[in-house]
Protein backbone atom coordinates (compact mmCIF):
# COMPACT_ATOMS: atom_id res chain seq x y z
CA UNK A 1 0.00 0.00 0.00
CA UNK A 2 0.98 3.62 -0.39
CA UNK A 3 3.53 4.48 2.29
CA UNK A 4 2.12 7.98 2.72
CA UNK A 5 -1.42 6.74 3.29
CA UNK A 6 -1.56 3.14 4.48
CA UNK A 7 -5.37 3.11 4.70
CA UNK A 8 -7.20 1.14 2.00
CA UNK A 9 -9.45 2.77 -0.58
CA UNK A 10 -11.16 -0.55 -1.36
CA UNK A 11 -11.75 -3.70 0.66
CA UNK A 12 -12.90 -7.02 -0.80
CA UNK A 13 -13.99 -9.64 1.71
CA UNK A 14 -14.60 -13.29 0.81
CA UNK A 15 -16.08 -12.43 -2.58
CA UNK A 16 -17.49 -15.39 -4.53
CA UNK A 17 -19.08 -15.20 -7.99
CA UNK A 18 -20.81 -18.02 -9.83
CA UNK A 19 -22.04 -18.48 -13.39
CA UNK A 20 -25.26 -20.39 -12.84
CA UNK A 21 -26.68 -22.88 -15.28
CA UNK A 22 -27.02 -26.61 -15.75
CA UNK A 23 -23.50 -26.82 -14.37
CA UNK A 24 -22.55 -23.99 -12.02
CA UNK A 25 -19.11 -22.48 -12.61
CA UNK A 26 -17.42 -21.06 -9.53
CA UNK A 27 -15.54 -18.27 -11.30
CA UNK A 28 -14.36 -16.37 -8.21
CA UNK A 29 -13.86 -18.18 -4.90
CA UNK A 30 -13.62 -16.36 -1.57
CA UNK A 31 -11.31 -13.58 -2.75
CA UNK A 32 -10.16 -11.07 -0.15
CA UNK A 33 -8.03 -8.04 -1.09
CA UNK A 34 -7.32 -4.52 0.13
CA UNK A 35 -6.30 -1.79 -2.32
CA UNK A 36 -4.20 1.05 -0.90
CA UNK A 37 -4.67 4.68 -1.89
CA UNK A 38 -2.53 5.55 -4.87
CA UNK A 39 -1.39 1.94 -5.22
CA UNK A 40 -1.03 0.03 -8.47
CA UNK A 41 -2.18 -3.51 -7.76
CA UNK A 42 -1.43 -5.94 -10.56
CA UNK A 43 -3.82 -8.85 -11.07
CA UNK A 44 -2.22 -11.63 -13.10
CA UNK A 45 -3.25 -15.06 -14.28
CA UNK A 46 -4.03 -17.14 -17.34
CA UNK A 47 -7.12 -16.60 -19.47
CA UNK A 48 -10.27 -17.89 -17.77
CA UNK A 49 -8.90 -17.68 -14.22
CA UNK A 50 -11.53 -15.11 -13.13
CA UNK A 51 -9.68 -11.79 -13.39
CA UNK A 52 -12.28 -9.93 -15.45
CA UNK A 53 -15.17 -11.51 -13.52
CA UNK A 54 -13.62 -10.20 -10.30
CA UNK A 55 -13.29 -6.70 -11.82
CA UNK A 56 -16.91 -6.72 -12.95
CA UNK A 57 -17.97 -7.93 -9.52
CA UNK A 58 -16.15 -5.07 -7.82
CA UNK A 59 -17.98 -2.55 -10.02
CA UNK A 60 -21.34 -4.42 -10.03
CA UNK A 61 -21.26 -4.83 -13.80
CA UNK A 62 -22.09 -8.53 -13.78
CA UNK A 63 -24.98 -9.75 -15.90
CA UNK A 64 -26.89 -13.05 -15.61
CA UNK A 65 -26.00 -15.87 -15.39
CA UNK A 66 -23.18 -14.36 -13.30
CA UNK A 67 -24.13 -13.69 -9.68
CA UNK A 68 -22.36 -12.67 -6.48
CA UNK A 69 -23.13 -15.48 -4.06
CA UNK A 70 -21.05 -14.38 -1.10
CA UNK A 71 -18.87 -11.57 0.24
CA UNK A 72 -18.72 -7.79 0.36
CA UNK A 73 -16.97 -4.98 -1.50
CA UNK A 74 -16.50 -1.72 0.42
CA UNK A 75 -15.25 1.61 -0.92
CA UNK A 76 -13.52 3.85 1.62
CA UNK A 77 -14.12 7.41 0.44
CA UNK A 78 -11.38 9.96 1.07
CA UNK A 79 -14.03 12.01 2.88
CA UNK A 80 -14.12 9.34 5.57
CA UNK A 81 -17.34 7.49 4.75
CA UNK A 82 -17.60 3.84 3.75
CA UNK A 83 -19.80 2.77 0.84
CA UNK A 84 -20.95 -0.85 0.55
CA UNK A 85 -20.76 -1.27 -3.22
CA UNK A 86 -22.39 -4.68 -2.91
CA UNK A 87 -25.57 -2.98 -1.64
CA UNK A 88 -25.77 -0.25 -4.30
CA UNK A 89 -28.50 -0.42 -6.93
CA UNK A 90 -30.32 1.87 -9.35
CA UNK A 91 -29.55 5.59 -9.24
CA UNK A 92 -27.03 5.42 -6.34
CA UNK A 93 -25.02 2.82 -8.27
CA UNK A 94 -25.15 4.85 -11.51
CA UNK A 95 -23.92 7.94 -9.66
CA UNK A 96 -21.15 5.96 -7.97
CA UNK A 97 -19.64 4.52 -11.13
CA UNK A 98 -17.15 6.75 -12.98
CA UNK A 99 -17.30 9.24 -10.11
CA UNK A 100 -15.63 7.03 -7.49
CA UNK A 101 -14.52 3.99 -9.52
CA UNK A 102 -13.99 3.96 -13.28
CA UNK A 103 -13.01 1.20 -15.68
CA UNK A 104 -11.00 0.91 -18.86
CA UNK A 105 -12.46 -2.05 -20.71
CA UNK A 106 -10.56 -4.47 -22.89
CA UNK A 107 -10.84 -3.53 -26.57
CA UNK A 108 -11.17 0.26 -26.92
CA UNK A 109 -12.78 0.07 -30.37
CA UNK A 110 -15.61 -2.02 -28.94
CA UNK A 111 -16.07 0.34 -26.00
CA UNK A 112 -16.32 3.55 -28.03
CA UNK A 113 -19.49 4.39 -29.96
CA UNK A 114 -18.51 4.27 -33.66
CA UNK A 115 -21.14 6.82 -34.77
CA UNK A 116 -20.30 9.55 -32.25
CA UNK A 117 -17.16 11.67 -32.26
CA UNK A 118 -14.84 11.73 -29.27
CA UNK A 119 -16.15 15.07 -28.00
CA UNK A 120 -19.74 13.80 -27.83
CA UNK A 121 -18.66 10.72 -25.90
CA UNK A 122 -16.54 12.68 -23.44
CA UNK A 123 -19.22 15.33 -22.96
CA UNK A 124 -21.78 12.65 -22.18
CA UNK A 125 -19.90 11.86 -18.97
CA UNK A 126 -20.28 15.44 -17.76
CA UNK A 127 -23.89 15.93 -18.87
CA UNK A 128 -24.75 12.76 -16.93
CA UNK A 129 -22.67 13.26 -13.78
CA UNK A 130 -22.13 17.04 -13.76
CA UNK A 131 -25.43 18.40 -15.18
CA UNK A 132 -24.76 21.92 -13.86
CA UNK A 133 -21.58 22.28 -15.91
CA UNK A 134 -21.88 24.73 -18.82
CA UNK A 135 -21.28 23.77 -22.45
CA UNK A 136 -18.16 25.90 -22.83
CA UNK A 137 -16.60 24.42 -19.70
CA UNK A 138 -17.41 20.87 -20.86
CA UNK A 139 -15.69 21.44 -24.20
CA UNK A 140 -12.65 22.98 -22.57
CA UNK A 141 -12.28 20.05 -20.17
CA UNK A 142 -12.68 17.53 -23.01
CA UNK A 143 -9.74 19.08 -24.85
CA UNK A 144 -7.73 19.25 -21.63
CA UNK A 145 -8.38 15.55 -20.96
CA UNK A 146 -7.08 14.54 -24.37
CA UNK A 147 -3.93 16.58 -23.92
CA UNK A 148 -3.41 15.07 -20.49
CA UNK A 149 -3.25 11.57 -22.01
CA UNK A 150 -1.03 12.66 -24.89
CA UNK A 151 -3.60 13.21 -27.66
CA UNK A 152 -3.83 16.52 -29.55
CA UNK A 153 -6.97 18.37 -28.48
CA UNK A 154 -7.85 18.89 -32.15
CA UNK A 155 -8.71 15.18 -32.33
CA UNK A 156 -11.75 15.80 -30.14
CA UNK A 157 -13.93 15.92 -33.26
CA UNK A 158 -12.53 12.69 -34.68
CA UNK A 159 -14.52 9.47 -34.81
CA UNK A 160 -13.07 6.28 -33.29
CA UNK A 161 -12.21 4.73 -36.67
CA UNK A 162 -10.08 7.79 -37.48
CA UNK A 163 -7.76 7.11 -34.53
CA UNK A 164 -5.01 4.54 -34.13
CA UNK A 165 -5.38 1.73 -31.61
CA UNK A 166 -3.07 3.49 -29.17
CA UNK A 167 -4.97 6.77 -29.48
CA UNK A 168 -8.30 5.02 -28.90
CA UNK A 169 -6.90 3.43 -25.77
CA UNK A 170 -5.71 6.85 -24.57
CA UNK A 171 -9.21 8.21 -25.17
CA UNK A 172 -10.61 5.42 -22.99
CA UNK A 173 -8.16 6.37 -20.24
CA UNK A 174 -9.22 10.02 -20.60
CA UNK A 175 -12.85 8.99 -20.21
CA UNK A 176 -12.05 6.89 -17.15
CA UNK A 177 -10.23 9.75 -15.40
CA UNK A 178 -12.69 12.49 -16.47
CA UNK A 179 -14.38 12.76 -13.06
CA UNK A 180 -11.12 12.22 -11.15
CA UNK A 181 -12.11 8.89 -9.55
CA UNK A 182 -10.20 7.43 -6.65
CA UNK A 183 -9.90 4.00 -8.29
CA UNK A 184 -9.33 3.04 -11.92
CA UNK A 185 -9.76 -0.59 -12.99
CA UNK A 186 -7.89 -1.45 -16.19
CA UNK A 187 -8.74 -4.71 -17.91
CA UNK A 188 -5.96 -5.70 -20.34
CA UNK A 189 -5.49 -2.06 -21.46
CA UNK A 190 -2.50 -2.84 -23.69
CA UNK A 191 -3.79 -5.99 -25.40
CA UNK A 192 -3.42 -5.97 -29.21
CA UNK A 193 -1.11 -2.94 -29.12
CA UNK A 194 2.45 -3.16 -30.41
CA UNK A 195 5.24 -3.09 -27.83
CA UNK A 196 6.20 0.54 -28.51
CA UNK A 197 2.63 1.77 -27.95
CA UNK A 198 2.33 -0.48 -24.90
CA UNK A 199 5.32 1.27 -23.36
CA UNK A 200 3.82 4.68 -24.08
CA UNK A 201 0.50 3.71 -22.50
CA UNK A 202 2.21 2.31 -19.41
CA UNK A 203 4.26 5.49 -19.00
CA UNK A 204 1.06 7.55 -19.23
CA UNK A 205 -0.66 5.41 -16.59
CA UNK A 206 2.19 5.67 -14.10
CA UNK A 207 2.59 9.41 -14.76
CA UNK A 208 -1.13 10.09 -14.29
CA UNK A 209 -1.23 7.96 -11.15
CA UNK A 210 1.61 10.01 -9.68
CA UNK A 211 -0.03 13.28 -10.77
CA UNK A 212 -3.62 12.58 -9.68
CA UNK A 213 -3.16 10.02 -6.90
CA UNK A 214 -5.76 7.46 -7.96
CA UNK A 215 -5.32 3.76 -7.24
CA UNK A 216 -5.17 1.23 -10.08
CA UNK A 217 -6.17 -2.40 -10.42
CA UNK A 218 -4.26 -3.47 -13.53
CA UNK A 219 -5.44 -6.77 -15.01
CA UNK A 220 -3.33 -8.76 -17.46
CA UNK A 221 -1.97 -12.23 -18.16
CA UNK A 222 1.44 -10.60 -18.76
CA UNK A 223 3.25 -11.03 -15.44
CA UNK A 224 6.56 -9.40 -16.54
CA UNK A 225 4.61 -6.27 -17.50
CA UNK A 226 3.09 -6.10 -14.01
CA UNK A 227 6.50 -6.48 -12.42
CA UNK A 228 7.51 -3.19 -14.04
CA UNK A 229 4.60 -1.00 -12.96
CA UNK A 230 2.95 -2.58 -9.89
CA UNK A 231 3.47 -1.91 -6.22
CA UNK A 232 1.93 -5.28 -5.36
CA UNK A 233 0.85 -8.25 -7.43
CA UNK A 234 -1.97 -10.73 -6.89
CA UNK A 235 -1.72 -13.97 -8.87
CA UNK A 236 -5.04 -15.64 -9.66
CA UNK A 237 -5.66 -19.25 -10.64
CA UNK A 238 -8.95 -21.12 -10.89
CA UNK A 239 -10.90 -18.27 -9.29
CA UNK A 240 -8.62 -17.96 -6.27
CA UNK A 241 -5.79 -15.65 -5.25
CA UNK A 242 -2.87 -18.05 -4.88
CA UNK A 243 -0.22 -15.41 -4.21
CA UNK A 244 -0.21 -11.78 -3.07
CA UNK A 245 2.84 -9.74 -2.32
CA UNK A 246 5.21 -6.90 -3.09
CA UNK A 247 6.15 -6.93 -6.77
CA UNK A 248 9.85 -7.40 -6.03
CA UNK A 249 9.14 -10.25 -3.63
CA UNK A 250 6.87 -11.99 -6.14
CA UNK A 251 9.67 -11.78 -8.72
CA UNK A 252 12.63 -12.75 -6.57
CA UNK A 253 10.99 -15.18 -4.15
CA UNK A 254 7.56 -16.39 -5.31
CA UNK A 255 5.87 -18.59 -2.73
CA UNK A 256 3.53 -20.52 -5.03
CA UNK A 257 4.62 -23.04 -7.66
CA UNK A 258 2.14 -21.61 -10.17
CA UNK A 259 3.74 -18.15 -9.87
CA UNK A 260 7.16 -19.65 -10.50
CA UNK A 261 5.81 -21.45 -13.57
CA UNK A 262 4.29 -18.22 -14.88
CA UNK A 263 7.61 -16.43 -14.46
CA UNK A 264 9.52 -19.27 -16.12
CA UNK A 265 7.14 -19.33 -19.10
CA UNK A 266 8.43 -16.01 -20.43
CA UNK A 267 11.56 -16.08 -22.57
CA UNK A 268 14.87 -14.70 -21.40
CA UNK A 269 17.01 -12.57 -23.69
CA UNK A 270 19.97 -14.76 -22.78
CA UNK A 271 18.39 -18.18 -22.16
CA UNK A 272 18.19 -21.14 -24.50
CA UNK A 273 15.19 -21.42 -26.81
CA UNK A 274 14.65 -25.00 -25.67
CA UNK A 275 14.31 -23.86 -22.05
CA UNK A 276 11.43 -21.55 -23.02
CA UNK A 277 9.65 -24.35 -24.88
CA UNK A 278 9.98 -26.68 -21.91
CA UNK A 279 8.69 -24.01 -19.51
CA UNK A 280 5.72 -23.36 -21.79
CA UNK A 281 4.83 -27.05 -21.75
CA UNK A 282 5.14 -27.10 -17.97
CA UNK A 283 2.69 -24.21 -17.72
CA UNK A 284 0.19 -26.00 -19.95
CA UNK A 285 0.47 -29.07 -17.77
CA UNK A 286 -0.18 -27.08 -14.57
CA UNK A 287 -3.39 -25.46 -15.85
| pLDDT averages per 10-residue partition of the chain, 287 residues | 66 97 95 96 93 95 95 93 93 93 82 94 95 95 94 95 91 94 92 81 89 94 87 96 94 90 73 48 47
CA–CA gap between residue 124 and residue 279 (Å, rounded): 48
Q: Which secondary-structure segment (H or E) carries 208? A: helix 195-212
Residues 198, 168: contact at Cβ < 8 Å? no
pLDDT reported for residue 280: 44
SS (H, E, C) 76-128: ECCCCCEEEHHHCCHHHHHHHECCCEEEECCCHHHHCCCCCCHHHHHHHHHHH
Strand partners for 260:
none
SS (H, E, C) 57-77: HHCCCCCCCEEEEEEEEEEEC
> Is the full-model pTM beyond 0.85?
yes
Strand partners for 196:
none
Q: Domain 1-100+181-254 maps to which CATH number in 3.40.190.120, 3.40.50.300, 3.40.50.2300, 3.40.1550.10?
A: 3.40.50.300
CA–CA gap between residue 199 and residue 205 (Å, rounded): 10
- b/e for 160-171, b at 16 or more Cβ within 10 A? beebebbbbbbb
- Max Cα distance, the chain (Å): 62
pLDDT reported for residue 272: 60
pLDDT reported for residue 4: 45
The helix, strand and coil proportions of the chain, stated in percent and rounded to the nearest 5, come to 40, 25, 35
> Can you give the residue ranges of every domain in the chain?
1-100+181-254, 111-180, 256-287
Residues 67, 25: contact at Cβ < 8 Å? no
CA–CA gap between residue 26 and residue 150 (Å, rounded): 41
Question: What are the φ and ψ backbone dihedral angles of 55, each rounded to 5 degrees?
Answer: -60, -45
pLDDT reported for residue 271: 56
Amino acid sequence: MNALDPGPVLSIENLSIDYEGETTVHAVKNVSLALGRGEILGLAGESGCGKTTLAYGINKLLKPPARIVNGHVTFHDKGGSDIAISDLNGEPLRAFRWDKISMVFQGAMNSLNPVLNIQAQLEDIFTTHRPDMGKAERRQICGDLLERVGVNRNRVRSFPHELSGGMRQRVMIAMAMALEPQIMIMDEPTTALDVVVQREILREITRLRAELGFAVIFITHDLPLLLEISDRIAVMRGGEIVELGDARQVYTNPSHAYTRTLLDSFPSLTGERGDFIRHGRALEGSA
